[in-house]
Structure 1
Amino acid sequence: MRLVVGYLATPGGADAVALGVRLARTLGAELDLCMVLPPDRAVPARLTVGDYEDLLAQQAKQWLSEASVPDDIVSTSHVTFCESFSEGLIQEVARLEADGIVVGGSGGGLAASFTLGSVVNELLHSSPVPVTVAPRGSRHSDVERIREVTCAIGERAGADLLLRTAVRFSKAAGTPLRLVSLVALDPVFGQLRGDAEAVRQRALDHAQRTLEAAKAELPEKIPVTSTVVEGNSVEDAVAKLDWRDGDLIMVGSSRLSAPRRLFLGSTAAKMLRVLDVPMMVVPRDQLDVTQLT
């Protein structure tokens, strides 16, 4: 398994590397640290295009050599040129046949721990593989592995694929799995909001079904729990959950996404505002990240 880390010589880049290392150690994956540079725009007058790109590549290699990757993780550094950072990363994913992308969330945009810049936003709306976003400050964590996977499951199209992805991830990593039904936020449940008891019962039935499906696929030694969370808003519901350093939340791509492409839905975007744990967004028909034994 290979994970592409979108690297910049910034705190956000260091956050991405730290999370990439955590995921790699958890899943037994290799890391590909990729730095995407602009091509020959604004070439200095005294340099040819080739000289300019060579100088940039040399500087990039120096920055990559300073990235903090422990000796127990197999990693390779790559420098590529592309007009778009996100497009360059996606091209590297295809070239390397990687299973996922890891990026840092800091850099202008949403508030709180995740401040998504234009690059991350583009990836979350176009990537053909899962994208995991590191919250600001991940580089300061001492946690070496993923502690628990939380999977936000609704009844929308693609929920079954997301559940299977989370189950396979937990099985490969040996981590506990927590299934969360944000029922108050789901349009299907929302149709019943006039009857609070009907909403609650449907939520409980749904949670029980997903729990039984997960347990059927996971070894007995891997704990699986299921919970129902209600709230007046997405942020309110997510904030009611207990989170610890080393947790990871997994969500599905919006139903608006094209096949094998991500599209960050409004619910996931709102969740990012109150979360301080990494979020993995999975394309609605993408399961490669979990094809492990």
Structure 2
Amino acid sequence: MPGGSIVVGYTATDAGADAAALGARLARSLGAQLHLVLVLPSEGTRSPSVVPPERAYEDHIKAQAKQWLQDAIVRLPQEIARSGHVRIAESFAEGLIAAGEEFGARLIVVGAAGGGIFGRHRLGSVASELLHSSTIPVALAPVGTASTDDHVVSRVTVAVGTRPGADALLDEAVAVARDSGSGIRLVSLVPFDVPPGLDTGAIRLVGNAHADEALATVTAALPSGLEASSVDAPGDSVEDAVAHLSWLPGEVVLVGSSRLAQPRRLFLGSTAAKMLHELPVPMIVVPRTRGEGGNLS
């Protein structure tokens, strides 16, 4: 059933606006409730040399944070169930993960770091920490998401390799596609995700067999009326392949966590990181929940 909740890591910045916009798109598409969470640092994170702030000042900061959240909430689409929350934590990422667990979130959404190129990703410290510790899938909003008109998820692209963890990734992709009523496109990364030394013919055979198997799995799991397709990633490298793929407005990409990740936690691997450099659409990174390794490394 559609629903659940989505946590957005909000700040009163352009990145915060991008995260809120992507969160709204996902919430509308998935029928989920949206929680905007603004995390303030706890006293334990302050330097001992810093004079503790007066209570009145702390109250002012919290009041300002609540006002920022309220201003953001009124700008979101009115049909979305949404709320704002101020949380105190030692780090922004820690506060978001705690909020995600509190609200039973299916996704945590964050924006790009400042200084990024419009339409592209740039990982900041919060996103990096989330991508190495979260137990909940993390959605990354490209720079400028707030200025686009992509109000629903139009298609789910899944980057699949051959390493263990693909089942969890495909399950999540099917759930997102089913709840949003969108189709799935599988992009095989087998040519970039096999042991070195295999010849081109062997790589192609492995890739074709793996793509056919994944497509059959997804097709069988999707409701009637939703389509699944598979395409080969063109190019000689991950970056080249991603740069040559076509993208629909509102599309999202799902990738699996690295084989280095512990079960039920994230760890962004090198293949996913290379993809991120070229992606013009949001990326959702899914934790490994079964097997001994991740999907992308």
Return the TM-score normalized by structure 2: 0.89
**Aligned equivalent of 2:22:** 19
Q: Is the 8 Å Cα contact of residues 26 and 173 (structure 1) preserved in structure 2? A: yes
Query: Counterparts of 1:39 and 1:69 in 2: how far apart (Å)?
Result: 28
State the AA in 2 paired with 1:233: S
Q: Secondary structure at 2:122's aligned position in 1?
A: coil
Give ranges in structure 2 of 5+ residues lacking alignment.
291-297
Cα offset for 1:97? 2.1
Cα offset for 1:110? 9.6
Match of 2:6 among 3, 8, 15: 3
Q: Is the 8 Å Cα contact of residues 119 and 281 (structure 2) preserved in structure 1? A: no
Q: Is the 8 Å Cα contact of residues 108 and 116 (structure 1) preserved in structure 2? A: no
Q: Is 1:56 aligned to 2:61, yes or no?
A: yes
**Aligned equivalent of 1:85:** 92
State the AA in 1 paired with 2:36: L
Query: Counterparts of 1:91 and 1:46 in 2: how far apart (Å)?
Result: 25
Query: Counterparts of 2:270 and 2:223 in 1: how far apart (Å)?
Result: 34
Q: How does 1:189-200 map to 2 (within 5 A)?
A: 190-192=196-198, 194=199, 196-200=200-204
**Aligned equivalent of 1:246:** 250
Query: Counterparts of 2:213 and 2:8 in 1: how far apart (Å)?
Result: 35
Map Cα deviations across residues 31-70 of structure 1 (whole Å, 9 max, x no partner). Answer: 110000113447996952x323211110001111111211
CA, structure 1 residues 200+230, in 2 after alignment: closer, same or farther (shift >3 Å)?
farther
Query: Counterparts of 1:30 and 1:247 in 2: how far apart (Å)?
Result: 20
Cα offset for 1:244? 2.2
Q: Is the 8 Å Cα contact of residues 107 and 137 (structure 2) preserved in structure 1? A: yes
Q: Is 1:177 aligned to 2:180, yes or no?
A: no
Aligned residues: 282
Give the alignment's Cα RMSD to 1 decimal.
2.1
- Stretch moving more, 129-138 or 239-248: 239-248
Cα offset for 1:109? 8.0
CA, structure 1 residues 123+58, in 2 after alignment: closer, same or farther (shift >3 Å)?
same
State the AA in 2 paired with 1:55: H
Return the TM-score normalized by structure 1: 0.91
**Aligned equivalent of 1:186:** 193
Q: Secondary structure at 1:5's aligned position in 2?
A: strand
Q: How does 1:128-139 map to 2 (within 5 A)?
A: 128-139=135-146
Match of 1:107 among 91, 104, 114: 114
State the AA in 1 paired with 2:33: E
**Aligned equivalent of 1:140:** 147
**Aligned equivalent of 1:202:** 206
Query: Counterparts of 1:112 and 1:163 in 2: how far apart (Å)?
Result: 26
Query: Counterparts of 1:35 and 1:167 in 2: how far apart (Å)?
Result: 30
**Aligned equivalent of 1:264:** 268
Percent identity, please.
50
CA, structure 1 residues 199+30, in 2 after alignment: closer, same or farther (shift >3 Å)?
same
Query: Counterparts of 1:183 and 1:47 in 2: how far apart (Å)?
Result: 55
CA, structure 1 residues 117+131, in 2 after alignment: closer, same or farther (shift >3 Å)?
same
- Stretch moving more, 58-67 or 32-41: 32-41
